[in-house]
Structure 1
């Protein structure tokens, strides 16, 4: 599972495909309830990209 901002969504999708060889599932986060940072930078994460 990867938390990412809008700028890094493509990188997160590619990472899931490369690591798990499966179609990634992208879920938008309710930003008001969560203050998680992007795993690639310090921006607020907007999406969760996972392999399930």
Structure 2
């Protein structure tokens, strides 16, 4: 599972596909406090969760 901002969502999607060889699930963080999650690439507040399940 990767947390990412809107700028790095494509990079996170590519990494999940490369690592797990399955189509990733993309979920937008809306109903939770976004300040708890940060982008794993730049440290900005996360907007999406990219997961392999």
Same fold (TM over 0.5): yes
Find the aligned partners of 1:47 and 1:12 in 2 and give their Cα distance.
10
TM superposition score normalised by structure 1: 0.91
Residues 11 and 48 of structure 1, relative CA distance in 2, 3 Å threshold: same
Unaligned runs of 5+ in 1: none
Task: State the Cα distance separating 1:4 from its structure 2 match.
Answer: 0.1
Matched pairs, number: 52
Return the offset for 1:32: 5.7
The TM-score normalised by the length of structure 2 is 0.90
RMSD between aligned alpha carbons? 1.4
Flag structure 2 segments of 5+ consecutive residues without an equivalent: none
Query: In the aligned structure 1, how far is the partner of 2:47 from the partner of 2:27?
Result: 9
CA distance in 1, matches of 2:39, 2:49: 9
For 1:48, the equivalent position in structure 2 comes to 49
Contact 1:31-1:46 at 8 Å conserved across structures? no
